[in-house]
Amino acid sequence: MKRLALVGRFAAIGFVAACVLVPISMIESKISERQQRAGSVLAQFAAETAGPQTVVGPFLALTCEEAVEVERQVMHGGKAETIREGKTLPCGVGYFPPRAFKASATLPVETLHRGLYPIRLYRAAMQLAGEIEWPGPPSQEGAIRREWKDAYLVTFVSDPRGIKAIASSTSKDVLAPPQGGLDRFAVRERVGAYPDRKPGSLVAFSYDMTLAGTSSLAIAPVGDTSDIRMGSNWPHPSFGSNWTPEERNIGDSGFDARWRMTSVATGGQATWSRLMAASTPGSAPAAGASLYDPVNVYLLSHRATEYAFLFVLFTFTALALAEVTAGIRLHPIQYALVGSAIAVFFLLLIALSEHFDFGLSYLAASAACVMLLTFYLRHPLGSWLRAAAFPGIFAALYGTLYTLLLSEDNALLMGSVLTFAILAVVMVATRKVEWTSLSGRLASV
């Protein structure tokens, strides 16, 4: 019976701890809801202005015509006769990527707010330059005669609404109405008829473009040799694209990155021609950067709730240890109130961080909870002397959690070490406790 009293005591405390995790789980759901709303606000802003941008091109686009003979029957003198006549039909568009391609982009980033939610917007100054080899005649098939007709330089931009300005070094007619099924390209420049140039000659191009977008910018390395440079005042780039930069320099004032690739890495002209023929230039592999936010308040708050069980475990362990060593008795409701204060911390954290800096919000929420818990525990513990250890314990817990949030790579290691340290403290502090006599005292109460 005495042993059952001690086991029942621990079971009651464990039940209260499990109950405390229920509102924390509800708060975690609320954080996810706020995060989804922030994402929907960003998506709405992108729908109204311009979203993440991918630039693919320029390509030399040649419209094709083929001359064929068709048979048809006509009535002549009351008899049906078969006659042949020539017709000219379109035969698709040929796309030819550059032999050499250079691109550079400078992205000054501006942070806007829609309500509570920040939006990263850039207006990139871009330069695209290179050379395209003028191709030979199209392939022939039997008696069908094919020939190239009109020539264009075409560039795909994932969200053309972001094109604020564009200029070509060779023509003023950059955005001329397209012909021959080229309407899916945002940038088009007519470069004349096919006979105007000889096969093997080079077509040079050079564009200056101002392109607005949000979240990310990527440029496809369309050349047999490609050299792409990108720089910004944003100090937290994420190069999670198809290729990481060959050179990078990241500091507090921003970043600079450079990619140099050949057709061996990209698949060469066959890859780009296949994408163009399939009308899927937007799926082209590209090099670029995303505007990563290292202090994403929703991500950090969500991660904080993942360690909530450690808060409850360590706090309840400290209270139980105080009961054992100081000979006091706490009611399960008092455990529940302490656990509720821990749960409210996470709610305060997300609410404050939507308005203020995350670090400042964390400090304010944790300080408020530490003062509340210290004031409350002074009375059931019987004196300020007994309660004096708890501010240090709570401060260490909140400080450790903040360190875990900022050091995701070492979170498991730090959490494991902290758990072991707490277990060691409990074992050392209770090594001389007579658990049998303690069970007897509990059973007699």
Percent of the chain having pLDDT more than 90? 23
61 and 23 belong to one structural domain: no
For residue 48, being part of any structural domain is answered with no
Residue 436, in any domain of the structure: yes
Report yes or no: 419 and 409 within 8 Å, Cβ to Cβ: no
| pLDDT surpasses 90 at 228 | yes
The two structure tokens encoding residue 103: 């691109």
What lies within 8 Å, CB to CB, of 27 at 6+ separation is: 305, 343, 346, 347, 350
Residues 258 and 314 in one domain: no
Q: What DSSP letter does each residue of 395-423 carry, written as one string?
A: HHHHHHHHHHHH-GGGHHHHHHHHHHHHH
150, 63 contact by CB (below 8 A): yes
Phi, psi of 263 (to 5 degrees): -65, -20
Answer whether residue 207 shows pLDDT above 90.
Answer: yes
Tokens read off for 120: 């990263």
Q: Is residue 46 part of a domain?
A: no
Claim to verify: residue 329 and residue 401 sit in the same structural domain: yes
Structure tokens at 20: 């405390």
Model confidence at 194, pLDDT cuts 50, 70, 90, reads low
Query: Domain tally for the chain?
Result: 2
pLDDT of residue 108: 94
Task: Please say whether the beta carbons of 208 and 167 come within 8 A.
Answer: yes
Q: What is the DSSP letter of 98?
A: -
Does position 122 have pLDDT exceeding 90, yes or no? yes
pLDDT digits (tens, 9 = 90+) for 64-106: 887 766 666 666 666 666 666 667 777 878 889 999 999 999 9
Q: What is the pLDDT of residue 145?
A: 77
Does the residue 78 lie in any domain? no
Question: Which one of 268, 291, 314 terminates a domain?
Answer: 291
* Alpha helices (runs of H) in 162-307, residue ranges in sequence order: 263-266, 268-277, 297-306
Q: Containing domain of residue 404, as a range?
A: 2-39+297-444
- DSSP per position, 200-255: T-EEEEEEEEEEEEESEEEE---SSEEEEEEEES-S-EE--SSS--SEEEEETTEE
